[in-house]
Amino acid sequence: MTPREIAIALLAAGGVFFAFVAAVGILRLPDLYTRSHSASKSDTLAAGLSLAAVALTFGSDLSTIKALLLLLFMFITNPTAAHAIARAAAEEGIEPWTREEEVDE
């Protein structure tokens, strides 16, 4: 295996790992705010690592430029969308989860 192939495999594996972390966070965390945090951070990193692996795979090609532009787009839009969702939830009066809610039940 060449160093380039190793880097591609590591980036792809990192992307899969962080996508898994995002999925577990969405399933296990208690409220909308913590779930959106998990999804925005971990999923953005997963997409970034995966797109970096794609860019390395294509090498010097037009597809690499497209993958890098998509990566830039993801880094801008994912956190912005998560912020908009959390802000809309706050404006609707959805209360954040607190530990006292769990203890009282």
Is the pLDDT at 104 greater than 80? The verdict is no
**pLDDT at position 102:** 60
- pLDDT tens digits for range 60-92: 889 899 988 998 999 899 989 999 999 999 999
Give the mean model confidence (pLDDT) for residues 1-7.
94
Give the mean model confidence (pLDDT) for residues 52-58.
92
Give the chain's length.
Answer: 105
